Structure 1
Amino acid sequence: MSRPLALLDSASLYFRSYFALPDSMTAPDGTPVNAVRGFADTIARILTERKPSRLVACLDADWRPAFRVRALPSYKAHRVADPKNNIEEVPDTLTPQIPIILDLLDAVGLATAEAAGFEADDVIGTLAHREGTDPVEVVSGDRDLFQVVREEPTPVSVVYVGRGWAKAEVIGPRELAARYELPEENAGPAYADMALLRGDPSDGLPGVTGVGEKTAAKLIKRFGSLEGLLAAAEAGDKLVPLRVKTALEDAAKYVAAAPLVVRVAKDAEVVVDRRDAVPAKPRDLDRVRALQEKWDLSTSVDRLLAALPAATA
């Protein structure tokens, strides 16, 4: 099998680095660089341990897209710091680190991608959906992306780092089906439907009252999909418990709107800033070293450079 295309859920990874490492890691001017160093270390480990031939750091062009908010106004509403400008509440000491991360990716020559009006999840969903050559590995600490796993036409799995890299799990359709008792043949879409029914307070998704994760998984496994469940409920199928039928009726407005919110896009107009092949050596070593010195990125940059193919050959 060919080496994989790695799709990085960048915000998930640098947020986790930020909270995992002390903010006492600072540049000479006092700017915290814990997220930068942790993110660089994560990419080094991806290159070393997963050995992708291609890599794209996927970015949020819009963390709370208008089309999702129109469908469900509660979507991420509790995380809005500035409602007028739709700005996300982000720790003050993380915000200035994001441009440094982007500068470092550019200097090394690693590709980034975004799509106007869409989240990184949609960029990942689109790139994974249209990949017809290499297996895909999505690296994320966000379970929402479990929905992209598949076997054909090329396998897509999630390297889930929600409990840290040391406890990373590779989740494909088989693992996902076993973990949640979902149908293996459509485990990814089934996960999205289960998550819709279950809800997710962290994203402002209320879910269907009284339908928890286990019940949601059983319903999706029994009826194959959300659409199958709704059709059975409408037809009066006795395999749909009365309390579930009533709950679905009560939550009808949410259930109708939520698929657009929960399911990642597969047709976003993604713009990739360069070829996604992992560069054998840094695109601009002098600039990498200048960033390393300016921001005191020390051994994190050394490890990233050492993980590039020319260094490991």
Structure 2
Amino acid sequence: MLLDTASLYFRAFFGVPESVKAPDGTPVNAVRGLLDFIARLVADHSPGHLVACMDADWRPQWRVELIPSYKSHRVADEPAAGAGGEGAAEQVPDTLAPQVPVIEAVLDAIGVARLGVPGYEADDVIGTLAVAAAGPVAIVTGDRDLFQLVDDARGVRVLYPRKGVGDCDVIDEEAIASRYGVRAGQYADFAALRGDPSDGLPGVKGIGEKTAAELVTRYGDLAGVRAAAADPLSRLTAARRRTITEAAAYLDVAPKVVRVADDVPLPRFDAALPSEPADPRALAWLAERWGLGGSLARLLDALAKAAG
């Protein structure tokens, strides 16, 4: 099981009231919410291995160099301590940013593998792990970009939370075809054509989700769509050929930005589910300092049962 950790702690932050606080009055709603999420996921799915994937760099420079608008609207005016990333800081709610280091410390003390690699997003770590995995993989994320990794033949699926993580849509190849009208292997090309305002990706002017799906389905992939646009005898209208041709500079680089990297150099790690805390003394201190109470107890119980 691969966790898109930031996606989940943002969801926890907005889903759990800020009235959930540490003894000193500091909000710990994201911390406790994430622990409860992981406990539920482990209890429901009993994974043999678990990795909390992190954004060591939420807006990698190599992606920005290709498309300068990439996530530019999410850059904070001032650095946000604990928000992660190597370059500009991401806009993170003031009461969430201080909780991120706590989340990291608690996961480390429990012994849950936590992986982030400088220069890469959590998506890229997930992509690398999913491609290398010998057995089935469940990716837990609220980010549709990771739908491109779905592969029924290899047992790679996405658990896409609707409300809490106990209510997830299981995204397999049939679900992608039903939702978007494309195959999982076409999803990245479809997304590049469509664009994504939430990531600062403009897409091709006049091409929305429906048209992008029709084009990718008809011509197979983005290269096929571009070849059709260059062919005056293709079924594309002159106006459509023109808009695609005029977007050449964007389409030259968009696939590399949109596609999840699968060759991230990962450090050594142990993804085995911990049956007991890796650092009991540190965890006890963290539990008392931050008032983690039942949330931590539920996660430790779920891990012990699944690992046993």
TM-score range, shorter chain: over 0.9
Residues 1:309 and 2:276 aligned together: no
Residues 1:63 and 2:58 aligned together: yes
Match of 1:199 in 2: 195
Query: How much does 1:312 deviate?
Result: 7.9
* CA contact 1:11–1:60 (8 Å) conserved in 2: yes
Alignment partners' CA distance in 2, 1:115 and 1:162: 28
Residues 1:300 and 2:295 aligned together: yes
* Matching residue within 271, 278, 283 for 1:276: 271
Alignment partners' CA distance in 2, 1:213 and 1:74: 20
Match of 1:54 in 2: 49
Residues 1:147 and 2:153 aligned together: no
Paired letter, 2:266: V
* CA contact 1:116–1:269 (8 Å) conserved in 2: no
* Matching residue within 221, 232, 242 for 1:225: 221
* CA contact 1:78–1:204 (8 Å) conserved in 2: yes
* CA contact 1:281–1:310 (8 Å) conserved in 2: no
* Residue-by-residue CA offset, 1:136-172 (whole Å, 9 max, x unaligned): 11000111110111134x2210000144324311101
Paired letter, 1:48: A
Segment drifting more, 254-263 vs 158-167: 158-167
The number of equivalent residue pairs is 301
Paired letter, 1:101: I
* CA contact 1:306–1:312 (8 Å) conserved in 2: no
Match of 2:120 in 1: 118
Match of 2:158 in 1: 158
* CA contact 1:223–1:229 (8 Å) conserved in 2: yes
Alignment partners' CA distance in 2, 1:249 and 1:57: 41
RMSD of the alignment, in Å?
1.7
Match of 2:253 in 1: 257
Alignment partners' CA distance in 1, 2:152 and 2:306: 33
Paired letter, 1:206: P
Residues 1:181 and 2:176 aligned together: no
* Residue-by-residue CA offset, 1:200-227 (whole Å, 9 max, x unaligned): 1111111111111011011111111111
* CA contact 2:47–2:306 (8 Å) conserved in 1: no
SS of residue paired to 1:54: coil
SS of residue paired to 1:137: strand
Segment drifting more, 274-283 vs 230-239: 230-239
SS of residue paired to 2:104: helix
Alignment partners' CA distance in 2, 1:129 and 1:18: 30
* CA contact 2:232–2:238 (8 Å) conserved in 1: no
Paired letter, 2:6: A
Query: How much does 1:250 deviate?
Result: 2.0
Paired letter, 1:290: W
Alignment partners' CA distance in 2, 1:285 and 1:205: 45
Task: Give me the identity figure in percent.
Answer: 51
Alignment partners' CA distance in 1, 2:279 and 2:151: 37
Match of 1:109 in 2: 111
Residues 1:137 and 2:132 aligned together: no
Match of 1:3 in 2: none
* Residue-by-residue CA offset, 1:246-303 (whole Å, 9 max, x unaligned): 111121111112111111101111225x310101222233432321111011110111
SS of residue paired to 1:63: coil
Query: How much does 1:193 deviate?
Result: 1.1
Match of 2:23 in 1: 28
Paired letter, 1:172: D
User: Structure 1 156/311 Cα, relative in aligned 2: closer, same or farther at 3 Å?
Assistant: closer
Alignment gaps of 5+ in structure 2: 80-86
